[in-house]
Amino acid sequence: MNPVTVNTTIARPREEVFDYLVDIANMSEYTDHFLSGWHLTRENSRGKGAGARFRIGAPMNRFDWSDLIYVDTEQPHRIVARGAGGKMNRVKAMSVLTLTQAAGGSTRVEWTWQTVPSKMSDRLLEIVGGKGWWKRKMNRSVRRMKTILEQDRGRGERVTVAGG
């Protein structure tokens, strides 16, 4: 799937927004309307190497488990995650969060999501549920992220380590 990019401006300093986003456990709070069943892949949920596994509630998605791992975190302006999902984890995914300073001390957050299906059947499933679905869900996510950081409300459930 071609990259899907959404953005928002949050009335908080960039360092504060980065500190929230660099903790992958917080991702479940603003994406729980389409990503569920979250669990961490290690105890430390912050920074490079932090990861999580979750289910994607996309239409006609039979193999819905996916994972993301933070592979690069450049404080306070960029977080890159890579992952895989679908049948036998053959659909590769990449997520990039870019934070830039905006007017008045606020922060512009740009979130890009891209998948690379390896089989024709995976490509066909992306055409059905694909880019429009992801864009709608991600737009709602950045609105929730903004509400959480600006007004401290609208939080979903924060993921923890299994059994912890």
Residues 4-151: name the CATH superfamily. START domain (3.30.530.20)
Write out pLDDT tens, residues 16-27.
999 999 999 999
Q: What integer pLDDT is reported at residue 163 of this predicted model?
A: 57
Question: How far is the C-alpha of 112 from the C-alpha of 76, rounded, in Å?
Answer: 17
The CA-based angle 131-69-156, given to 5 degrees, is: 70
Which range among 20-24, 46-50, 87-91 shows the weakest confidence by mean pLDDT?
A: 87-91
Residue pointed to by tokens 């512009």: 108
Q: What integer pLDDT is reported at residue 147 of this predicted model?
A: 96
The whole model's pTM is what? 0.90
Q: What integer pLDDT is reported at residue 126 of this predicted model?
A: 66
Q: What integer pLDDT is reported at residue 119 of this predicted model?
A: 78
Write out pLDDT tens, residues 53-79.
999 887 767 778 999 999 999 999 999
The CA-based angle 22-31-83, given to 5 degrees, is: 60
Domain boundaries, the chain: 4-151
Q: What integer pLDDT is reported at residue 164 of this predicted model?
A: 54
Q: What integer pLDDT is reported at residue 86 of this predicted model?
A: 81
Strand order in the sheet with 78-85: 4-10, 107-116, 91-101, 78-85, 65-74, 51-56, 35-40
- Average pLDDT of the residues in 119-131: 69
